[in-house]
Chain A
Amino acid sequence: MTTATAPLGEQRRKAATLGGSFSSQMMARAARDSFVKLDPRRLTGNPVIFATWIVALLATVSTGLAIKDGTAWGFALQIALWLWATVLFANFAESVAEGRGKAAADSLRATRVTTPAKLIVDDARGTVVPTPAHKLGVGQIVLVEAGDVVPADGEIVEGIASVNEAAITGESAPVIRESGGDRSAVTGGTTVVSDWIKVRITSEAGSTFLDRMIAMVEGADRRKTPNEVALAVLLAGLTLIFLIAVVTLLGLGAYSGVKLDPMVLGALFICLIPTTIGGLLSAVGIAGMDRLLKFNVLATSGRAVEAAGDVDTLLLDKTGTITFGNRMATDLIPAPGVRPEMLLRATLLASLGDETPEGRSIVELARNRGLVLEAPKGATVIPFSATTRQSGLDAGDGKWRKGAVDAVLKDAGLEASQAPAEFTAAVDRIARSGGTPLAVSEDGVLMGVIHLKDVVKPGVKERFADLRRMGLRTVMITGDNPVTAAAIASEAGVDDFLAEATPEDKLRLMRDEQGRGRLVAMCGDGANDAPALAQADVGVAMQTGAQAAREAGNMVDLDSDPTKVIEIVEVGKQMLITRGALTTFSIANDVAKYFAIIPALFVLGLPALGALNIMRLHSPQSAILSAVIFNALVIVALIPLALRGVKYQAIGAGKLLQRNLLIYGLGGIVAPFVGIKLIDLIVSGVGLA
């Protein structure tokens, strides 16, 4: 028996907020890791930092030779040290990003089952054999009783139990799991709190959901995402370009009679290559996964996070996502001759014993209209039944009913055709608008009709408007008839809807959208959602959902909250924006570095080039050193941004680009002018160069 330490979700939430939440222990671990990562074999995947590593090594050797020869070496040593610092800072950024995942993984590991599972060897006689969890094979059936930890992922074949899934989701309220249907999956590491279940094991030891989760948060098998690969190609290309530009200066400089110090050329090279984004690229990716984790969403790959930013179409199930999923009373229409307050009272009394969401919504409606009543003493609740199709309350002197219109009319001794015209008109109007009419009677007298409707969640409309500005189209999927669907669609402000939808329709719609070159995201929990989840570019499975669905999606929402898709899209976009912003910033930085280094490089041989020293830097040496220091420090300065991500705003692509170009493009040009000048003041003031 094991216990999870703190619920993971909570831990993650803590770890994911920046600032004080970084334990000094995590920072120390990251600092240690950044030295471990100096191993050149670990750097080959990052050409920019690898190039920096090589130049740092050369600079060190050259410093060593200078010391040995007894020539001036102070400047060379400083350059060499700052070059190493550049590599270390880049490593540190990656380590810090990984650190948070590692911490989460550690707490997950603690939830692994160590107690033996109860393997059923003879179902008829109920014989169980204690077996270690890691020895369980797929297809075997285990008994899990109250207090037991589910030994591995599986499907309930018999029984019903409430299960505490806090170890996985961080949510401590237990959930019901039962055989058959979409709530039959259980996850290894969760605890049965009451009753018992028989579970057929569906995954091998080592590849359970928990295992995959650990691997994911730890980033153990992190592969570069397609966009990251493309960006790496660009950065490698730029590195080569600058290599050419710098190496050929040897010849061009010689022609001009300028003697060039290889150390300084190396420094120029490092300043020009995009070390900022090169150093932060992987941290940005890891942080993106991490931010999803903060929302309690697990992505199976970075590719999925990236795809989330690209989603064009969002397929949303109506129930639970757009509407509360329960019909609620929104209006009361009295029958002719009935005063509204009489109807309100009758309706409330008919619903006092009704514990269904619909019943509660009526009580709520009455309260909002200022009527609160207790059930009369000795009243009996008449529950809903399939035969009467109505429910209500009987008290000594009266009986109140509400239910299907025809059933209530019949009770009132009326044929449908005999119903008052106003009443029938109201019923029709409600039905046409996609609502459900419920008739109300008091002592067998028709009182009026309740308008029940599917209520759109507050704020949903605004979110869809946001999504539209982000360029996403929302399509509502519902089993309702087209009339109801259209009414809700227009109320919620979705762009389109699919009514009376079967899972096949959903899949077809998705393929249609994809055929038109759109990327589609959806969420789902049922086993019949699995094909569509697999087809979707971003398929978010609910943690509470069927095992098949969880396998098919490329993300799992641990909170099982279908509205999460929207956050997921935002996280995806945020990650891409951060990457773009840092790349732009990095390249724009080079302008100022040129103005620092080029005059410093040539001014002795060609004094006229002193005119390019527009920052009025103190001396050639201080200029070069300042540029190198700036180049290293800017990585550290940007680590928080890389981890936190650039804020995404749903203001449309044009405005967003304008804003980011201004900050990171123009800012990238201006910032180093200021930074290098300041560093130069310090460097020359302190007398370092």
Chain B
Amino acid sequence: MNGQGWAEIVLTIVLTVGLAWPLGIYMARVWQGERTWLDPVLRPIEALVYAACGVKRDKGQNWVAYAMSVLAFSIASFLVLYLILRFQNLLPLNPQGFPGLSPDLSFNTAISFVTNTNWQSYTPEQVVSTFSQMAGLTSHNFLSAAAGIAVAAALARAFVANRSEDLGNFWIDLTRISLYVLLPFSLILALAYVALGEPQTLIAHVTAHTVEGGKQVIALFPTASQEAIKQFGTNGGGIFNANSAHPFENPNPITDLIEIVSMNVLGYACVVAFGRVVVAKPDARALVIVMGLFVLAASSIVYATETRPAPALVAAHADAGVNMEGKEVRFGAPSTAIWVAATTGASDGGVNATHDSLMPLGGGIAMFMIQLGEIVPGGVGSGLYGMVVLALIAVFVAGLMVGRTPEYLGKKVESREIKYAMLAVLILPLAILGFSGVAAVLPVALKGLANPGPHGLSEILYAYSSATGNNGSAFAGLSANTPWWNTTLGIDMLLGRFAYAIPVLAIAGSMAAKPKLSATAGTFPTDGPLFVGLLIGVILIMGGLQFFPALALGPIVEHFQVLHAVAAR
């Protein structure tokens, strides 16, 4: 650990949050259908989409209709993507000559990209054709992100509404978010990435005749265009197997910084936009601060663990200053630490190092950040609505202590909201611990493990956490391309996405129908340092209480074993 490392961590977070402010203000305009400087170009395209879809600009939807639209769109997306992957051998732009994906892998991958998880049970450069990367994966990087942000926009409207059921229109939200937010910024990012060294070509591979006379087949893809939305839309699905550890996806510290910033900025920006739409800027600021503090704390812990002596290096009498296994030299411990925190906090799932080879507590923090529910700052849109669910629970538990029945942002929190909130929150332990408990004793599941002992259990826990949290990163030693893993992880991805988003929309519907209350001196304050502390406590305790026993058997016990192993030397 050194000053430069700490400065890098702090500056990166500050820069991200700082950029989220203007972006959030801009996004609030997009959510509210206001004019932007892109209108001259995009208005006609927008009108075209609405006409083709048969959508009226001024027709809102209630929560059921909104949820139905989300589902219908996701099903359509899933089917199209499934077919593209399954039959990529019959489609154009397959210079690699790859066959179609197996049914269970197509199922898993289609769900993975539709749910914004982007878990990959396969090695992309060995399996996925250029066309599949572009038309299949790149496009869904956009659309799953847009769908998540749309739900967040609907939730924001619910807090503004006063005895209404109008949550806006999903198709309009989807279109505007894709066209006005995701596409323009991705274009800029993509060109920046090319300029900084990322490839962008339709050529499948180049064969190099190496200096020492060997042959090296270098796989290539239209990388930059996908990298841009992969990070900006918190997708995280690598163009290459090594993801952003791969020098083509992340060639230098500058691209690394941009990728970290862009994978968190939209999550924070959603909160900023929420604050503006709901006219609750201080409350939104409090949420942003909570998120930022979690990322800062997690980065710090990982930075600390990765600069502790690694047992294998100690045993070999090598320099054990940094646990370099699985890390890139150009990034080192600090960049890796901030990336680990940012990607697991954000449901991005891209990695610039191998999480499986992190020190036990480093990997444990990564896992725990996912298990908190992907809310710090969380996936685009989903982070905001997940955080609001936690804020509702925090307000409900502690809010009573000011002597009023709880309310959040002028809306009473009553049994209906709590019911849906608990339903959403229940998904995490059910999907993560449920399947982990089974997989831990199932021989067909255990065959996929790469590491013995507690670390193997961590691989299981991490996989289900990642799938349920729609994160997509992995303790990648796990060989997950088997029917058991593809299927159960697919189910978890579905649960994590829809069994969360639909209760959230139900909460939105219920909130919108309530009267908007005005705040008084007796109202529970949800904007100050006290609330920040309270929310942090609730998030930690809720997450910790659910997962502590499981974590004790994985990363925690392994941590103590590492301490023993190092001390024994």
Measured CB to CB, the residues of A under 8 A from B are 226-227, 229-234, 236-238, 240-242, 244-256, 258, 268, 272, 306, 309-310, 312, 468-473, 516-518, 572-574, 576-577, 579-581, 583-584, 587-588, 590-591, 594, 598, 601-602, 606, 608-609, 611-612, 648, 652-654, 656-658, 660-661, 664-665
CA A608 – CA B454 in complex, angstroms?
A: 11
Q: Mark B254-295, 1 if CB is under 8 A from A, else 0.
A: 000000000000000000000000000000000000000000
CA A116 – CA B534 in complex, angstroms?
A: 63
Interchain CB contact under 8 A, B401 and A577: yes
Interchain CB contact under 8 A, A471 and B557: no
* Contact flag A245-B401 (CB < 8 Å), given A252-B437, A256-B454: no
Interchain CB contact under 8 A, A237 and B425: yes
Interchain CB contact under 8 A, B530 and A658: yes
CA A234 – CA B396 in complex, angstroms?
A: 9
Q: Is B541 interfacial (CB-CB < 8 Å)?
A: yes
Q: Residues of A contacting B400 with CB < 8 Å?
A: 227, 576-577, 579-581, 583
How many whole Å from A288's CB to the nearest CB in chain B? 12
CA A258 – CA B561 in complex, angstroms?
A: 16
CA A606 – CA B550 in complex, angstroms?
A: 13
Interchain CB contact under 8 A, A248 and B550: yes
CA A576 – CA B446 in complex, angstroms?
A: 50
Interchain CB contact under 8 A, A657 and B524: yes
* Contact flag A248-B434 (CB < 8 Å), given A233-B419, A233-B422: yes
Q: Mark B435-447, 1 if CB is under 8 A from A, else 0.
A: 0111111000010
Interchain CB contact under 8 A, B429 and A310: no
Q: Residues of A contacting B410 with CB < 8 Å?
A: 517
Interchain CB contact under 8 A, A310 and B545: no
Interchain CB contact under 8 A, B525 and A310: no
Sample 18 A-B pairs with CB under 8 A, ordered by A number.
A227-B406, A233-B418, A237-B418, A237-B423, A244-B426, A248-B434, A248-B437, A249-B550, A255-B446, A255-B553, A256-B557, A306-B405, A312-B522, A581-B400, A584-B401, A608-B557, A657-B401, A660-B398
Interchain CB contact under 8 A, B556 and A609: yes
Q: Residues of A contacting B162 with CB < 8 Å?
A: 517
Interchain CB contact under 8 A, A245 and B429: yes
User: Chain A's interface: helix, strand, loop or mixed, by majority?
Assistant: helix
Q: Is B528 interfacial (CB-CB < 8 Å)?
A: yes
Measured CB to CB, the residues of B under 8 A from A are 162, 393, 396-406, 410, 413-415, 417-419, 422-423, 425-426, 429-430, 433-434, 436-441, 446, 454, 456-457, 460, 515-518, 520-525, 528, 530, 533-534, 537, 541, 544-550, 552-553, 556-557, 560-561, 563-564
Q: Residues of B contacting A516 with CB < 8 Å?
A: 518
Interchain CB contact under 8 A, B405 and A248: no
Interchain CB contact under 8 A, B525 and A653: yes
Interchain CB contact under 8 A, A653 and B397: no
CA A471 – CA B518 in complex, angstroms?
A: 11
CA A567 – CA B149 in complex, angstroms?
A: 47
CA A622 – CA B402 in complex, angstroms?
A: 38
Chain B residue with the shortest CB-CB distance to A590? B545
Top-8 shortest CB links A-B: A471-B522, A580-B400, A573-B403, A237-B422, A251-B437, A248-B437, A608-B560, A471-B520
CA A432 – CA B40 in complex, angstroms?
A: 65
How many whole Å from B564's CB to the nearest CB in chain A? 6
Interchain CB contact under 8 A, A602 and B552: yes
How many whole Å from B565's CB to the nearest CB in chain A? 10
CA A43 – CA B449 in complex, angstroms?
A: 45
Interchain CB contact under 8 A, A598 and B549: yes
CA A268 – CA B545 in complex, angstroms?
A: 12
Q: Residues of A contacting B430 with CB < 8 Å?
A: 244
How many whole Å from B338's CB to the nearest CB in chain A? 28
Interchain CB contact under 8 A, B393 and A234: yes
Q: Residues of B contacting A612 with CB < 8 Å?
A: 552, 556
Chain B residue with the shortest CB-CB distance to A246? B549
Interchain CB contact under 8 A, B545 and A272: yes
CA A661 – CA B400 in complex, angstroms?
A: 11
CA A583 – CA B162 in complex, angstroms?
A: 30
Interchain CB contact under 8 A, A584 and B398: yes
Interchain CB contact under 8 A, B520 and A309: no
Q: Residues of A contacting B425 with CB < 8 Å?
A: 237, 241
Chain B residue with the shortest CB-CB distance to A268? B549
Q: Residues of B contacting A237 with CB < 8 Å?
A: 418, 422-423, 425-426
CA A268 – CA B552 in complex, angstroms?
A: 15
CA A518 – CA B425 in complex, angstroms?
A: 31
Interchain CB contact under 8 A, A310 and B404: yes
Interchain CB contact under 8 A, A230 and B564: no
Q: Residues of A contacting B557 with CB < 8 Å?
A: 256, 602, 606, 608-609
CA A543 – CA B216 in complex, angstroms?
A: 95
How many whole Å from A231's CB to the nearest CB in chain B? 8
Interchain CB contact under 8 A, B426 and A657: no
Scoring A237, A517, A572 by chain B CB atoms within 10 A of each residue's CB, the highest score goes to A517
Q: Residues of A contacting B434 with CB < 8 Å?
A: 244, 248
Interchain CB contact under 8 A, A611 and B560: yes
How many whole Å from A253's CB to the nearest CB in chain B? 7
Interchain CB contact under 8 A, A656 and B530: no
Chain B residue with the shortest CB-CB distance to A240? B426
* Contact flag A255-B440 (CB < 8 Å), given A576-B405, A612-B556, A653-B525: yes
